[in-house]
Chains A and B, each alone.
Chain A
Amino acid sequence: MSELPPIVPAEKKRRVIVGFVCERSIPIHDMLDAHKALTDDPETKIIILPCSGMVKPTQMELALANGADATFVCGCAMNDCHYRTGNIMIRERLEGQRNPKLRKSTDKRKVGMFFFTMKDKRPFLEALAQFKASTENL
């Protein structure tokens, strides 16, 4: 009787997370590799913007529609946006309280929001890991 081939676990599917990050929140310029991925988490690709309030909900929908497993926005600490209201604007837009809003058909579980200061690299990475875990089986 010939031996059965060893059971090899299927290779874990590589996920892609797209993050829109305000350049004045976490120290994002120091956290990226040459491919615009986080050095601490290569599955997470980053778009850097002047302010989180610049993110259009349609851009997050675009990422999800084109294969992103999840998407998030990261702005300055709440009540401390460098441009005063950017983080409040994007939070209200993603929560459906301000125009333009996310489409109703968008799976909001795959849309994350983080608000951190430039000294919050570690808390951001922890929050991101939690968010990724919460979206793993969606």
Chain B
Amino acid sequence: MYKKFLQLTKNLTVSLEKGLNFLTTQENNPLYFHGALPLYTFWFLIFSGIMLWMYYIPTLDRAWTSVNYITSLPVFLKDAHGQLLLKNGIPVVNAISPATGIPYGAVVRGIHRWGAAAMMITTILHMLRVYFTDRHRSWRWLPWVSGVMLLMFVLFVGITGYLLVWDARAYSLVVSTQAWLAAVPLIGQWLSTFFIGGDAIRDFTLTRFFFFHIGGATFIFWLIWMHFIRLNEPVVTPSRAVNFLTLGFILVAAGVYPAVNVTNELIAQHPVLAVDKAFIASDAPAQIGNLVAVIRYDAWYLFPYYLMEKVGVNWTWIILGFAAILLLVAPFYPKDRRDNIAEVIEAKCTGCTFCSLDCPFEAITMQERAPGSKFKLIAVVFAPRCSECGICVGACPFQAIELPNTHSKTIEADVLALLKTGAQ
């Protein structure tokens, strides 16, 4: 039943991709680079994040101001007279100067913001694609489990990014998070205190959020290493055309909707900015004790808070916890019959390493033979990692590694038999 479901999802996925192949060709179909795209978008976040880091000040009274300083000149257009314009056509009174803001700062922050959305979207796309094509089970459990952890950490780092702006929404999110953590039995109060770095929100709170954001992003690199550790020659970058397409999407989005801080006073002066606020802009500065009446939820990162508002903190724990457990056990069910695992024929193995180099799942290692042996090395198959694909068999020039149920000798006998019947 479950396998039939996976077969159905695979059929649907392949049909969708086949349609896209007509437009993009197999070589440039973005859906075939679903694994490389999240990593590619992560680089945008790293580089734009380092640029933002140069000006960000993680204290209660300076955080919003420093972000505002970075983005107060959302300017990259000029009119016919050389007058600088906001992207909505509003003239800028002050010309670009370090005293009033950072040139293109809003665009860089926009790249960070849209890059974050792109990373979450591509991560979810990658996960769905892997699941729907049944490429998450059995010997692939480590990439899947590390992928689930990556998803969680991308979410965590994204949420902490929202807090760093320290606008009215960020304060409301912190209060919600404290309530959420406090609901954990026994250690809830401690978690809540640990989260804000003390018994009340103060400067250390933002320093801690900054650590969560940067430290979390650094930990993502370690998880990516775990994700790749059992993959031979992982695809880490999409094709050139897909690269440019992604780059174009993020740059255009950041140019058209750069990330800015928009206060209600500004909207009163320029109503057109309300559109920005609805999409991507931050609120007015946070004030301790002042919760926003309605939190603007971001679909990719703030859905846990939406859930909290709708069903309460306890049910949010239950729903998210249940989802996490389902994802973590998914690669272990259903179990496949594994009776065609590669076997090395010791007498024929010359230790040439071809099979080990070509194995897509790092299931073959080369080990030293006993002293005095004719050859120095021998291939050894680690059965739990073997996918029974036979790529090692194709790589071996000496017929020294075989799949027991699909033996090379049988294939060759079949070829000769087919030729015999075909000629008649």
Q: How far, in Å, is B401 (CB) from chain A's closest CB?
A: 11
With contacts A50-B390, A83-B387, A86-B391 known, is A100 near B397, CB below 8 A?
yes
Chain A residues whose C-beta falls within 8 Å of the C-beta of B394 in the assembled complex: 53-56, 86, 89-90, 93
Chain B residues whose C-beta falls within 8 Å of the C-beta of A99 in the assembled complex: 354, 395, 397
- Does B26 lie within 8 Å of A59, measured CB to CB? no
- Does B14 lie within 8 Å of A49, measured CB to CB? no
- Does B354 lie within 8 Å of A77, measured CB to CB? no
Cα separation A43 to B421 with both chains bound (whole Å): 10
- Does B419 lie within 8 Å of A100, measured CB to CB? no
Q: Which segment, of B107-115, B298-306, B403-411, faces chain A? A: B403-411
Q: How far, in Å, is B388 (CB) from chain A's closest CB?
A: 6
- Does B415 lie within 8 Å of A66, measured CB to CB? yes
- From A57, which residue of chain B is reached at the shortest CB distance? B394
- Is B369 in the interface zone, CB < 8 Å from A? no
With contacts A47-B414, A66-B416, A119-B18 known, is A79 near B33, CB below 8 A?
yes
- Is A14 in the interface zone, CB < 8 Å from B? yes
Q: Report A64-123 residues with CB < 8 Å from chain B CB.
A: 66-68, 77-80, 82-86, 89-90, 93, 98-100, 115, 117-120
- Does B231 lie within 8 Å of A50, measured CB to CB? no
- Is B393 in the interface zone, CB < 8 Å from A? yes
- Does A37 lie within 8 Å of B422, measured CB to CB? yes
- Does B32 lie within 8 Å of A49, measured CB to CB? no
- Does B423 lie within 8 Å of A115, measured CB to CB? no
Cα separation A82 to B406 with both chains bound (whole Å): 18
Cα separation A115 to B21 with both chains bound (whole Å): 12
Contact for A16 among B32, B133, B422, CB less than 8 A: B422
With contacts A78-B26, A86-B360, A89-B358 known, is A18 near B391, CB below 8 A?
no
Contact for B233 among A63, A79, A83, A85, CB less than 8 A: A85
Q: Count of chain B residues with Cβ under 8 Å from any Cβ of A?
A: 47
- Is B1 in the interface zone, CB < 8 Å from A? no
Q: Mark B77-100, 1 if CB is under 8 A from A, else 0.
A: 000000000000000000000000
- Is A35 in the interface zone, CB < 8 Å from B? yes
A-binding residues in B (CB < 8 A): 10-11, 14-15, 17-18, 21, 26-27, 29, 32-33, 133, 135, 231-233, 235, 239, 340, 354, 358, 360-361, 387-391, 393-397, 403, 406, 408, 411-412, 414-416, 418-419, 421-423
Instruction: Give the 9 A-B CB pairs with smallest separation, nearest first.
Output: A54-B390, A53-B391, A16-B422, A83-B389, A79-B32, A45-B418, A84-B360, A100-B397, A51-B389
B-binding residues in A (CB < 8 A): 14, 16, 18, 35-37, 43, 45, 47, 49-51, 53-56, 58-59, 62-63, 66-68, 77-80, 82-86, 89-90, 93, 98-100, 115, 117-120
Q: What are 23 inter-chain pairs, A to B, with CB distance below 8 A?
A: A18-B418, A45-B419, A50-B403, A53-B360, A53-B389, A53-B390, A54-B391, A54-B406, A55-B394, A56-B394, A58-B397, A59-B408, A59-B412, A63-B415, A78-B32, A82-B135, A85-B360, A86-B391, A86-B394, A98-B358, A118-B14, A119-B18, A120-B18
